[in-house]
Amino acid sequence: MTLRRTSGRVAANVLVWGYAAMILLPTLWVLSNAFKYKIDIITGATLSPVTWSNFEQLLFSRQSQFLWNLLNSAFVAVSSTAIVIVIATMAAFTLGRLRVPGWVRWPILGWALLFQMLPTLTFVGSWYVMWSAIGLHGTYISVILTHVVHNLPMGLFLMLSFMSALPHEIFQAARMDGCSNSQMFWRVAFPLVRGGMIAATALIFIFSWSDFAIALTLTSPATMTAPVAIATFAQEYDIRYGEMAAGTLLSIVPALILILVGQRFIVRGLLAGAVK
């Protein structure tokens, strides 16, 4: 029994760390391109002279504004994710836990799924026309709100699944205690579903952070986000691997920090809620 358990644990460890290596090895190899000359990158040289020229090109060349692109990305992703999570969580609670007439429920869920299934690429032209018509093309508002509607179906369905996974008895008990809908949301559902919220927040943040198609069409040079800037390195005649890797390195770090700090922030809120 003990032996089996130990060998099982060893096997699990091998599996997990093997998988971690599968992720780390190519990632680090490619990110190390940020410090190489292109000739060393395309020949796959392992030991090669180190250069900062890619970062210089990325950050300090006259036409570059990569740090500004990163700030734009952070602003757009944080704002749109916050809006999605707030409205999706409330709606998911109502749809998943309260009695809602069918003519309200099914159009919302059906539309969300339909909208999610159609390719984003085919919508961006329409969005451009709409935002231009009211003079908001190229502003943060246009990108943020479009990201909200684009990621809303996923936010809604994820939160719905977490809401429906909560045990039925808790809500029954709360109802017996005379809780109103809003009280049930804030006191019962919200604290219990925060684990799911963290995951949904992280995913929606990532989708907004790495979006290319919407940001390309709706941003102007002043509001351009990091993925659009990084895409300029995939050029018609050649791919600037070095600058691309440098840009990726600089965009991964803030994204990971925001996700991990955000998690801690939400977890602390969770503990605070539990103490209450």
Partner 1 sequence: MNTMIKPGVVIRRNKRWLVLSLAPVAVFFLVLSGFPVLNLLGLSFFDVEWREGAAEFNYIGLENYHRLFLEETIYWAGVRNTLVFAVTVVTCQMVLGFSMALAVKRAGSVGRTILTGIFLLPIVIPPIVIGTMWRLVMGREFGLANTLLRWFGLNEVDWLGNPDIALASVMFVDIWHWTPFVFLLMLAGLESLDEEVLDAARLDVTGFWQEVRHIVLPLMLPTILITVIFRVILSFKVFDEVYLLTSGGPGTATEVVNFSIYRTFFRQDQVGYGSAMSVVTLFAIALTIILARGVLARRRNAEEAE
Partner 2 sequence: MKRTAFSIATGLLALAVVMPAHAKDQPDITMAINQSPWLNSFVAMVDLYEEETGNVVNLDVNPFGGLLEKIRNSVRGSEGTYDLVNINSLWLSEIYSGGFLAPLGEVQEGYTLQDGVLSYGATTNWDAAVGSFSPDGALMGVPVNGNVQVLYYNQAIYDELGLSIPDTWDDLYANAKKIEEAKGIYGFVPRAARDSIVYNITPYIFSHDAAFFRVTGPGQAAIGLNTTEGLAALKTYLKISGEDVAPPNPGAIAQGELIQLLSTGKAAQAIAVIAAWGALENPNESRVVGQMSASLIPAGPGGTHASSAGHWVAGIPKNVSAERQRAALAFLDWFQSQALQVKYVEAGGVPVRGDLAETGLGANNSYRFLGAYSANAANAVMGLPFAAAAEASDAMALHFNRAVIGEESPEVALNAAAEVLAGILERNGFTVTRQPDL
Q: Which of residues 129-158 bind partner 2 (CB under 8 A)?
A: 129, 132
Binding mask 85-114 for partner 1 (x = CB under 8 A): --xx-xx-xxx--x-x---x---x--xx-x
Q: Please, what is the minimum distance in Å from the beta carbon of residue 56 to partner 1?
A: 20
Does residue 74 contact residue 227 with C-beta atoms inside 8 Å? no
Give the Cα separation of 71 and 224 in Å (integer). Answer: 10
Q: Residue 257 binds what, of partner 1, partner 2, none (CB under 5 to 8 Å, by partner type)?
A: none
118 binds partner 1 (CB under 8 A): yes
56 binds partner 2 (CB under 8 A): no
Identity (one letter) of the amino acid at 17? W
37 binds partner 2 (CB under 8 A): yes
180 binds partner 2 (CB under 8 A): no
Q: DSSP readout, 192-234?
A: HTHHHHHHHHHHHHHHHHH--HHHHHHB-TTT--HHHHHHTTB
Other CB atoms within 10 A of residue 184 CB: 19
Strand partners, 239: 234
Other CB atoms within 10 A of residue 35 CB: 20
122 binds partner 2 (CB under 8 A): no
Residues found near partner 2 in the complex (CB under 8 A): 37-39, 42-43, 53, 62-66, 68-69, 124-125, 128-129, 132, 216-217, 220-222, 224, 228-229, 231-239
